[in-house]
Amino acid sequence: MSEAETIHVADVSEGIGGDATAEPGSPVELPVVDVLTGRSFITGKSGSGKSNTASVVIENLLDSGFPVLIVDTDGEYYGLKEEYEILHAGADDECDIVVSPEHAEKIAALALEQNVPIILDVSGYLEEETANELLLEVVRQLFAKEKRMKKPFLLVIEECHEYIPEGGGMDETGKMLIKVGKRGRKHGLGIVGISQRPADVKKDFITQCDWLCWHRLTWDNDTKVVGRILGSKYASAVEDLGDGEAFLMTDWDESIRRIQFHRKETFDAGATPGLDDFERPELKSVSSDLVGELESISDEKERRESEIADLKQELEKRDRRIADLERELEEARDLSNMADQFAQALLGKAEAPYRGGGPSAASPDRSRDDGGAGGDDGNGDQSVLKSYDEAVAATEGDSAASAADGGPGADDGSEAAASTGSESPADASEGDSDDSATPNSDAAVASASGPPDDVDPVTRDDVAESALRFDDAIELGTREAVIEELRSRIEALPELSRGMLRHYRREGASDPVAAHIDAGGDGDSGHAYSRHRPIRRAGLIRHAGRGHYAYAVPDLVREAYADRLDEAQVDEVVSAVESVFVPPAELSYPPDAAPTDVGEPPAGGPTDRSGGDQAETTASADGEDPVTADDGTAADRARDAAPPDAADADEGETAADAGLSDAARRFAERTER
C-alpha cells in the first residue's frame, strides 16, 4: 500500500467562490485518510460531471493501493477494469461472477481481508428486493468486520437518494447506510453518497458529511439547499458552473473552493453515446482463484435450490395423490349412499303391507273383514310405489347427504335399516307354515351368531332372506311365533352383545362405544363396532342418525302386527321378548330407568313377562285374541276340538293361548318337542 497521504484530484478555477489564497490552476489535493474514513456527498445535475469526479477519486485511491467497493446502480463503472484488476460482481453475464445475498459475507471478506477492489453492479437485478437485500447484507458484513479490523475503507453509493430519501420511509438498507454515515468513521469505514437531486436526499446524511462537492444545479429546490448550506451567493453561482467544475467544501481546512476536477483516465462507460461507433475497451480479468471462491458459493446455492426444487416436486406429487385419494373416498361415500337408499327403498316396499299399504299374504280375509288401511281402493299400494320410486330416484341425484351422520355409524345405520326390512309378502313361501318356520328360525340364529369380526356389508340377498324369515314367522299368526322369533335372535347374540342391547333398551338411543363400555367392554371403537354388528344385523336396533342407534324391539312388535295392537298389548309382548336378556328386577321399570333405580319388583307385579297371568288378564279384558283378531272363530274351533278335560289339564293356559290358530298350535307343539 502506498505511503501517499494525499491525492491530486483537481485544480483551482476562476469565478465566484474561488480560492483567494491560491492562483487559478493550483493543485487541489485531498487527504487520503479523510477520504477513506470520512463521509462525503457529491451532487450535480445529469452531465455536470459528478460521476467523473467519483471516478477520479477512485482512480487515485486505486493507484495508491487503497481498495474500494462501488455500488453501481447504472452499470457505468466497469470501465475501471480497463486499467485496474477489479472484481465485477452482479447479475449480468458481463460480470465476472453472478452473486446473490448468499455471497455477501465472502464479498466483504475479499474487500477487507484480501484488498480486492469490487464493483457491486446492482443494475441487472430484475427484482428490486433482491438488489436491496444484497446491498444490505454486504454493508452489514463490512460494518461488522470493520469493528474488529479498524482498516480504512471507502464505500461509494451511486444514486443514494434511492436508499436514503428525504421524503417517505426508509427500508432496512437505508437505515444501515445512515448508520455507516454516523458511526462508520470510528471503525475506519467511510462512505461517499452520489445523487443528482440534493433536495431528495435525507438531510441527516448531508449534514454529517466531512467534504461536499456541488456541481451544476438548476432546479430551485436544489439551489435552495446550496443556499442553506454554503450561502446565498453560492446558490446563484452554482447554476453557472461548467462541466466538471464544482464548489468543494471541506471540514479539515474549513474552506470553500471553486475547483475543476480532472478527467478520468479509464473508459467512460457512463458518457452519453454519440454518432461515432461504440468501441468497448479491453478489460482486465481478475484472478480465477477469487472467482472460484465465489463460484463455490454459487454452486452450493444451486445445489440447495435443486434439492428444494426436487422436494417441491415430490410434495406436489404427494398433494396430487392426496387429492386423488380424497376424490376416491368421496366416490366411495357416494356409492355407499346409493346402496343405503336402495336398501331403504326395498325395505319400504317390503314393509308396506304391514303398515296399511295393502293386504298381507298372511291374513287376506282379515284385511277385508276389518276394513283396514289395505282396502280395495289400492291407495296403499300406490303410496308404496310412489315412495319406492322416490327413493330409487333419489339415488340418481345428489348424494352429498351420505356423510351427514359422519363416522363409522353412517354405514352401520344403513345396514341396520336394510336388515330389518322384508320383501313383498307375495314373494314369501306359500307352503305349509310348519315346514317353513323352523328352517327360517335356524337361519336367523345362524345369521345373528356369526363371527363378531365379520365386516361384510348387508347385501340385497340378506334383505330378502331376513324378510322371508320374518314373514314366515308372522304367517303363523300367533303371539308365540313373534316372541319365539325375536327371542331366537337375542339368544344367538354373544353375551357382551346382549349387554350392549340392554344398554340400548335403558338409554333408548346411544352410540356403540358407550354401549360397549356399559356392557363391560373397553373404549376401543374397533372392538365396540365388532360386538355391535350382531345386534344391528339381527335388526334389534336401528340407526338414529349421527352415529347413534335406537332400541328397535318395540318397533318390530308393532310392525309384526301391522300397528293393530294398542300400547299395553305391545308392552306385554315386548316384556315377554325382553325376559330372555333383561334381569327380572329391571323388567318392572321403564326402559330408560337408571340402573341405580332398579330394585326388587313391586308387590303384586308380573312374575312371568313371557306370557303369564298378566297376559291373560290383558287379553281377556279386551275380549278378543290380540293376534288373530278374527272374532274368536279360531279359538272356538280349538276349544271344540279339545278333549273334555283339556281345560283341567292345562290350568295355566292364557286367553291368548286359547285363541291360537291351528298353525300356531302346531308351531307351539313342535317348539315344546
The pLDDT of residue 454 is 44
Most confident of the following: 27-36, 274-283, 414-423: 27-36
pLDDT beyond 50 at 424: no
pLDDT beyond 70 at 96: yes
**pLDDT, the chain, mean:** 74
pLDDT beyond 50 at 441: no
pLDDT beyond 70 at 81: yes
The pLDDT of residue 137 is 96
The pLDDT of residue 209 is 93
pTM: 0.48
* pLDDT (mean) for 495-506: 92
pLDDT beyond 50 at 639: no
Higher pLDDT, 192 or 373: 192
What are 188's three cell numbers? 475506519
Place of cell 366411495: 332
Residue 415 banded pLDDT, cuts 50, 70, 90: very low
Establish if 668 belongs to a structural domain.
no
Establish if 391 belongs to a structural domain.
no
pLDDT digits (tens, 9 = 90+) for 458-486: 555 555 555 555 544 444 446 788 888 89
Backbone phi and psi for residue 361, each to the nearest 5 degrees, phi listed first = -65, -20
The pLDDT of residue 552 is 92
Q: Are 611 and 601 in contact (CB under 8 A)?
A: no
Establish if 88 belongs to a structural domain.
yes
pLDDT beyond 90 at 92: no
Residue 123 banded pLDDT, cuts 50, 70, 90: very high
Sign of CA dihedral 523, 525, 527, 532: positive
* pLDDT (mean) for 90-116: 91
Domain stops at, among 543, 563, 579 = 579
Alpha-helical segments (H) within 24-118: 32-37, 50-63, 104-113
The pLDDT of residue 246 is 95
Place of cell 360397549: 516
Local structure of 90: helix, strand or coil: strand
Domain stops at, among 244, 270, 296 = 270
The pLDDT of residue 294 is 80
Q: How far is CA 20 from CA 15, 24, 230, 252, in A?
A: 10, 9, 17, 18
Of 27-41, 133-147, 293-307, 378-392, which gets the smallest average pLDDT? 378-392
Establish if 412 belongs to a structural domain.
no
* pLDDT (mean) for 169-183: 92
The pLDDT of residue 417 is 37
Cα atoms in the 13 Å half-sphere on the side-chain side of 579: 14
pLDDT digits (tens, 9 = 90+) for 12-57: 998 887 766 778 889 999 999 999 999 999 999 999 999 999 999 9
Q: How far is CA 665 from CA 137, 477, 574, 580, in A?
A: 101, 10, 21, 22
pLDDT digits (tens, 9 = 90+) for 323-380: 999 988 988 888 888 887 777 777 766 655 544 544 444 444 444 344 443 444 444 4
Higher pLDDT, 622 or 179: 179
Residue 627 banded pLDDT, cuts 50, 70, 90: very low
The pLDDT of residue 390 is 52
Q: Which residues pair with 27 in a beta bridge?
A: 11
* pLDDT (mean) for 71-86: 92
Residue 268 banded pLDDT, cuts 50, 70, 90: confident
CB burial of residue 46 (10 Å; 0-12, 13-18, 19+):
exposed
Establish if 278 belongs to a structural domain.
no
Percent of the chain clearing pLDDT 90 (strictly above)? 39
What are 200's three cell numbers? 431528495
Residue 292 banded pLDDT, cuts 50, 70, 90: confident
Higher pLDDT, 642 or 254: 254
Higher pLDDT, 283 or 354: 283
The pLDDT of residue 546 is 86
Torsion of the alpha carbons at 655, 661, 666 and 669, rounded to the nearest 10? 0
Higher pLDDT, 417 or 194: 194
Instruction: Compute the C-alpha angle 348/353/357, nearest 5°.
Output: 85
510 sits in which H/E element: strand 509-510
* pLDDT (mean) for 274-302: 70
Query: Domain span at residue 524?
Result: 460-579
What is the number of structural domains in the chain? 2
Percent of the chain clearing pLDDT 70 (strictly above)? 65
* pLDDT (mean) for 381-402: 45
Domain stops at, among 252, 270, 288 = 270
Establish if 254 belongs to a structural domain.
yes
Establish if 551 belongs to a structural domain.
yes
Higher pLDDT, 457 or 430: 457
Query: What CATH number is attached to the domain comprising 206?
Result: 3.40.50.300
Establish if 420 belongs to a structural domain.
no
